[in-house]
Amino acid sequence: MTHNIFDYFKKYENVPNGAIVKEDMLRLGVSFAPEVFEHVDGYLLKNYNLFASNYDRANTGEMVVKNIPAEIRISSSKNKILPTIVETRYSAISPYKITYDQKGFKLLFKEREIAEVEFCKRPKYHNKQFKDGIKYKDVVALVHWGYKIAISVVRVCSFNKNDICKYCDINTNLKFRTDSNKLNIDPLAKLEYVVPVVKEILENEQIEGSRTLVYGLTGGTMLKNGKSIEADIYSHYIKKLKAEVGGRYPVSVTCTAQNEDDLWKLKEAGLDVYQCNIEVWDKQIFHKVCPGKSKLVGHDKWVELLKKAVDIFGEGNVITNFVAGVEYSKAYGFSTMEEAIQSTTDGFEYLMYHGITPKMTSFCASAGSSLRNEPIIPLDYYVQIAMNWYNLWRKYLLPPVRNHGPMGPGRAIEINSTYNDIGS
């Protein structure tokens, strides 16, 4: 890895330095000096979440699962880095390393200090468990520095091995977590556990410098007789949750594209924010990278159903995610970075014009996915695509991506892309 991050600060002087470092850490991962693990008590550690998002989990086993801080906040007055929150993607060979000394945690880039580091405090609900031994922390996760309750309702994907999205590790992650940690994680989260934990967080949790304001239901595609049954499952959960926690906190669902009847079913159940992720704009690459989604719904229909969803949920309440960078993967993507950026930017523009809010998750060649051996996507791609997203978002005067926190450097809390960290 020959690049020098300090050169990128000069190259992209209109982009916040924190956003540049964040994208670099997302694409390259981060390692930890051994002494860090002696001081991580009291912090939020990586636990079961739908996707593992680690680069070399398989080689590091227990340590990664048990002791890795889940989220990292970097800042530096010397390097003009405003507080910037990053998802931890573990990689033992990353040029980024977190160390510890008496002054605290530090982030090094190729052994040179670049920023101070804080970790998100361990939430109080992590200390609780049900009478049968199920731990609250294994029922739902608190993410984005405590801002969002992430409820992984459907912890598996019904697509067969060949049809699983190529970047996705949902099924291998569940298997790894349950096998290696003897965790009792049901493929379908049980409402009798979910409801009390969500209530406990909304009523009693207080993460320093943050508030829990939203909750979201998500999971893999759930099929019965070849048809999605996600609307039935999520409607049931939404009704029960809203009956218990009221309407103060908006709820989102992330699912496969739903037909019009099912969109209404979700709306009538009380859903506030509908998210169905198209992941890739180019139709042919979508077909190769997301074969299950392509066969079940198809690219054109996915887009039409997103537009229909705007009529039902209203502008600003319909989101679609892109796995940014996968359209430039060696295995399935464009051969040049410029084509990849142009294609995805065209997608952003089309969707924003129609009142749909696209967002991004930076591609992670996760150890449990088919694309685990992909070469690393260039940092320029990530900086330029985030800028393009931001400029189009301004052009179309859309609201911030709902349920994904505030925007702007020093304020954003979205952990796995920088589209929210750009601007002023």
In sequence order, what DSSP letters do the residues of 19-62 get, joined into one string?
A: HHHHHHHHHH-BEE-GGGGGG-TTB-B----S----SSHHHHHH
Give, as ranges, the residues between 124 and 143 that touch ligand SF4 (CB under 6 A).
none
Q: Which is nearer to ligand SF4, 100 or 322 (CB)?
A: 322
Q: How far is the CB of 293 from ligand SF4 (least distance, A)?
A: 6
User: Any contact of residue 413 with ligand SF4 (CB under 6 A)?
Assistant: no
Q: Which is nearer to ligand SF4, 96 or 286 (CB)?
A: 286
- Closest Cα to residue 189, out of 174, 199, 211, 207? 174
* Size of residue set near ligand SF4 by CB under 6 A: 11
Q: Which is nearer to ligand SF4, 157 or 238 (CB)?
A: 157
β-bridge pairing 223-224 and 141-143: unpaired
Q: How far is the CB of 254 from ligand SF4 (least distance, A)?
A: 9
Q: How far is the CB of 237 from ligand SF4 (least distance, A)?
A: 17
Interface pattern 22-61 for ligand SF4 (x via CB under 6 A): ----------------------------------------
Q: How far is the CB of 417 from ligand SF4 (least distance, A)?
A: 16
Work out which of 18, 123, 220, 409 binds ligand SF4, going by CB under 6 A. 220
Q: Which is nearer to ligand SF4, 115 or 290 (CB)?
A: 290
3-state secondary structure of 368: coil
Q: How far is the CB of 90 from ligand SF4 (least distance, A)?
A: 20
Q: Which is nearer to ligand SF4, 285 or 379 (CB)?
A: 285
Please answer whether residues 29 and 89 qualify as being in contact, where contact means their C-beta atoms are separated by less than 8 angstroms. yes
Q: How far is the CB of 163 from ligand SF4 (least distance, A)?
A: 8
Q: How far is the CB of 219 from ligand SF4 (least distance, A)?
A: 7
Q: Which letter, b or e, does each residue of 306-342 get, where b requires 16 or more Cβ atoms within 10 Å of its Cβ?
A: bebbbebbeebbbbbbbbbbbbbbeebbbeebeebbe
User: Any contact of residue 325 with ligand SF4 (CB under 6 A)?
Assistant: no
Q: Which is nearer to ligand SF4, 16 or 220 (CB)?
A: 220
Give, as ranges, the residues between 289 and 308 that touch ligand SF4 (CB under 6 A).
290, 292-293
Q: What residue ranges in 204-303 does DSSP mark as E strands?
A: 214-219, 223-224, 227-228, 251-254, 273-275
Interface pattern 151-190 for ligand SF4 (x via CB under 6 A): ------x-x----xx--x-x--------------------
Please answer whether residues 121 and 179 qualify as being in contact, where contact means their C-beta atoms are separated by less than 8 angstroms. no
Q: How far is the CB of 157 from ligand SF4 (least distance, A)?
A: 3
CB within 8 Å of 162: residues ≥ 6 apart: 291
Q: Which is nearer to ligand SF4, 126 or 287 (CB)?
A: 287
Work out which of 53, 99, 221, 417 binds ligand SF4, going by CB under 6 A. 221
3-state secondary structure of 358: strand
CB count in 10 Å sphere of residue 158: 20
Task: Look up residue 189 and give its amino acid.
Answer: A
Please answer whether residues 253 and 274 qualify as being in contact, where contact means their C-beta atoms are separated by less than 8 angstroms. yes
The angle that helices 379-395 and 337-353 make with each other, rounded to 10 degrees, is: 20
Query: Strand order of the sheet with strand 112-119?
Result: 31-32, 96-101, 104-109, 112-119, 71-76, 81-87
Q: Which is nearer to ligand SF4, 99 or 275 (CB)?
A: 275
By CB under 6 A, name the binding residues for ligand SF4.
Answer: 157, 159, 164-165, 168, 170, 220-221, 290, 292-293
